[in-house]
Structure 1
């Protein structure tokens, strides 16, 4: 029994001595490595002195199908609005240019040697007279009569200004309404031709009447012996 206890105690002593020896050996080696500076901590196990960077968060914007459709409709409506606005502005600018050109041209059409007063006053009174005369008539008559009075009185009281205004209206009509201008030109040619034909007919008829009267006087003088013609061609009853 005593030998067994001695054996166990001896093992414990040996284990303690061995552990102490190993610990002392490791301690001496660590001190030596620390003094020599030959031992370094692996870089993978070093701790950084700076804070770790925060991971970057990337946000991706996504739209639903309804939002995409609404966006397309809004873009189409905006485009249509701006196109209509640009077209309307273009039309307005065009009319403003036409109005300015007409105003400038009217100022140029007024004859400098022909005062508007009192001629324009007479034209207004004449036109107003036509309106007063036809105040109880039908609408076509109330429109045509004052217009006719205006067209007849303007060349009479303001002949130069009326001529310039007619020339300008003809040029403007030929530029903007060529078809209407062609019809007016054809009507003017027809009226001019009819007037020339009427004048020619009048002169030829007058000549024929005079020749007929002259021949009749000659026949009467020949058969009756009454002298109706003078040597100068005049007629005189004895």
Structure 2
């Protein structure tokens, strides 16, 4: 036992010295493998030339590409139907909107035409004609004609108030009646037959009025002559009586 411990104590310094000597003698640079010699050998007469690749001729058979199925899928058919429905609805909505716009334009045009027509019937301020008392006078004249013709036949009861009212209008409101007459004539010109009948009726009335005035003047002249002759005879008789 004592000999073993003695050997361990003697072996420890020896191992330590061997380790130190090995570290000192170990080379610090690592050995590198020799690179292969890239120099050309002097005994090679020629280098081996690489053989060019032989061109390959294209095959005469056409290449077959995989064909896809051209039949539409249910999704495609649904998309087409939805597109057609949208175009159909869009066209009808646009047509309905156009109709509404045309109706509104016509209504506004009609309203503007009506207001401008009513305003054109009023007399100008320079004429000095007033509608309010004149309209009342015309209404009273028409009612008077209705009262006068109440015991007559139906034709007179229908025409006399209108004739009296129109006559009173031409007397009391001449400018307004002229405007109304021009407006009626403008609308009558759209119907040539009505306008022609109106012209003939007016010419007949004017001719009758002219003839009536002529005959009235003739009657007045005859009466004046008769009255003058009678007065002359009376004066002569009075003179002879004296």
TM-score, normalised by the number of residues in structure 1: 0.46
Which structure has more relative contact order (CA 8 Å, sep 6+)? It is 2
TM-score, normalised by the number of residues in structure 2: 0.46
Larger Cα-atom Rg: 2
